[in-house]
Structure 1
Amino acid sequence: MEGLTQFWAQSDGIGRAVASLLLLMSVSAWSVILWKAWVLQRARRDIARAVPAFWAAESMDAGATRLNALDREQVLAPLLAASAPRAGGTTLETRGALESQLTRRLRDALHASLSHLQFGQVLLASIGSTAPFIGLFGTVWGIYHALGSIAAAGSITIEKVAGPVGEALIMTAAGLAVAIPAVLAYNLFGKWVAGCEAELEGFAHDLREMALEAAKARG
């Protein structure tokens, strides 16, 4: 903490801007990490409970009631709504074959659900890939600034160089401290989202088949 205080006091505007940017990136990353961990854990549990509960119901209405009660993140309900029968119309969508209509509606609903689950992944990837370089730039600039100040003083010794250079290296460590949690969270959340995507795709496929069979039964 003392090193950070000294670095801040001795740094110029650019060095302080880099430190502030790393702090902002760290706060943003941890906010997204905590939020996504909560959302994805809920979604995974909801999918694991809601899908079997839906198929165990005796009717579509009962199944929809069970699913909506368990689907807190609303990733399954859009798929169920997309598979519901639609009244005929004159638009291009309604004039298409039933198979094509169902595929289009379920695809759009699936994309919407996945967009909700994937929200924040780009931010984590961006922070994880850029924070080390921002920290490295802060270190380089801090060393340059420190050496310029020492040279202006007219006397250069190893003791006068080691202190400012060591404090400037803190920026590299800060960049890594910001990037590592973001990268680890991105990889973990990517695995969780992929698992949810597989379950949602399977549910959408089963709903499509059931809707087609129901349409054939209606004649």
Structure 2
Amino acid sequence: MSDIATNVIVDGTLNTLIAASVVTWGLILIKGVQHIRISYHNRRYNKEFWSAPNIQAAAHLENQDGPAARVAGIGFSTLIETDGGASTHDLEHTWDRQELLDRRLRQQMQKERGSLESGLAVLATIGSISPFVGLFGTVWGIMGALTNISKTGSASLEVVAGPIGEALIATAVGIAVAVPAVVGYNFFIRRNKVVWAFLDDFAIDFVHLALKSSFIIERAGSKPAAAAASARLTDVSGGKKSNIKDTHEELIAKEAHA
């Protein structure tokens, strides 16, 4: 085994680990910014949504950024599509309005989940294999050092310490690359669960609100529909002006009593 081959393999291992480290920190930065933006947009839209006077007004909110806004947008589109009866007769429209709405919301949530989980498989892979890649470089470097010892016929500390010490660097680099990848993976998995739980609760509340409004939503430029929906919400609330925030509190109270 030549010294050149040993150096090429050890150096290649180190370069691979350095590249993996760059990818790891790049993904951590990208996913971190993504979650900051998602958290901001979800809080903003959730506040605006529940502050709307009724579901008709909530359908025309200007803020359409973030997973919650996109889930709600799919819900409003489905309500508009099914308002007055769907003209299509495909299999999807054989369900009733509530089933179709729930299906569309779940589909959008799965899309958001896919976006949240993108890149995490790479972090998991780097965190799993980096120590072994570093160990491979170390073992190969030690093999080269032992070969040189056999050639020189000397096992003094000066001959052994240098090559073996350099070979052990690969293991240290492998561990240094793996730790941030594993920590980042676990952190973002936890954050994804929080976002998913929020979207799941939001979707359930949206279906309840749609059910309360008889699955009627205002089409663009349709004032009579808005007036009719507002009248229905007023009747349900006992003659008082309905507010989505009040409805949300009612739903929470019912679930608590149940």
Normalization by structure 2: what TM-score? 0.74
Deviation of 1:10 (Å) = 8.5
What code does the residue aligned with 2:53 have?
Answer: E
**Residue 150 in 1 paired to residue 149 in 2?**
yes
The corresponding residue for 1:121 is: 120
RMSD across aligned positions (CA): 2.3
When structure 1 is superposed on structure 2, of 10-19 and 36-45 the one drifting more is 10-19
The corresponding residue for 2:192 is: 193
The corresponding residue for 1:163 is: 162
Distance change >3 Å, CA 10–CA 169, structure 1 → 2: farther
Structure 2: state its 5+ residue gaps.
Answer: 217-228, 233-258
Deviation of 1:11 (Å) = 4.0
Distance change >3 Å, CA 216–CA 57, structure 1 → 2: closer
Q: Highest CA radius of gyration, 1 or 2? A: 2
Instruction: Give yes or no for contact 1:150–1:161 (8 Å, CA) kept in 2.
Output: yes
**Residue 24 in 1 paired to residue 19 in 2?**
yes
Deviation of 1:78 (Å) = 2.4
Distance change >3 Å, CA 62–CA 150, structure 1 → 2: farther
Please show how residues 76-115 of structure 1 align to structure 2 within 5 Å: 76-84=68-76, 85=79, 86-87=81-82, 88=86, 89-115=88-114
The corresponding residue for 2:223 is: none
Secondary structure, in 3 states, of the residue corresponding to 1:155?
coil
Secondary structure, in 3 states, of the residue corresponding to 1:76?
helix
Secondary structure, in 3 states, of the residue corresponding to 1:90?
coil
Instruction: Give yes or no for contact 2:134–2:171 (8 Å, CA) kept in 1.
Output: yes
Equivalent-residue separation in structure 2 for 1:171 and 1:61 (angstroms): 62
What code does the residue aligned with 1:119 have?
Answer: S
The corresponding residue for 1:140 is: 139
Equivalent-residue separation in structure 1 for 2:163 and 2:68 (angstroms): 56
Equivalent-residue separation in structure 2 for 1:203 and 1:181 (angstroms): 33
Normalization by structure 1: what TM-score? 0.86
Deviation of 1:67 (Å) = 6.2
The corresponding residue for 1:179 is: 178
What code does the residue aligned with 1:105 have?
Answer: R
Instruction: Give yes or no for contact 2:59–2:73 (8 Å, CA) kept in 1.
Output: no
Which of 8, 13, 26 in structure 1 is aligned with 2:8? 13
The corresponding residue for 1:47 is: 42
Equivalent-residue separation in structure 1 for 2:68 and 2:90 (angstroms): 26
Q: Deviations over 1:116-148 (max 9, x none)?
A: 122211111111111111111111111111221
Aligned length: 209
Deviation of 1:155 (Å) = 2.6
Structure 1: state its 5+ residue gaps.
Answer: 1-7
Instruction: Give yes or no for contact 1:99–1:212 (8 Å, CA) kept in 2.
Output: yes
The corresponding residue for 1:5 is: none
Give me the identity figure in percent: 37
- Consecutive aligned runs of 4 or more in structure 1 exceeding 6 Å deviation: none
Instruction: Give yes or no for contact 1:67–1:76 (8 Å, CA) kept in 2.
Output: no
When structure 1 is superposed on structure 2, of 102-111 and 150-159 the one drifting more is 150-159
Which of 70, 75, 96 in structure 1 is aligned with 2:67? 75
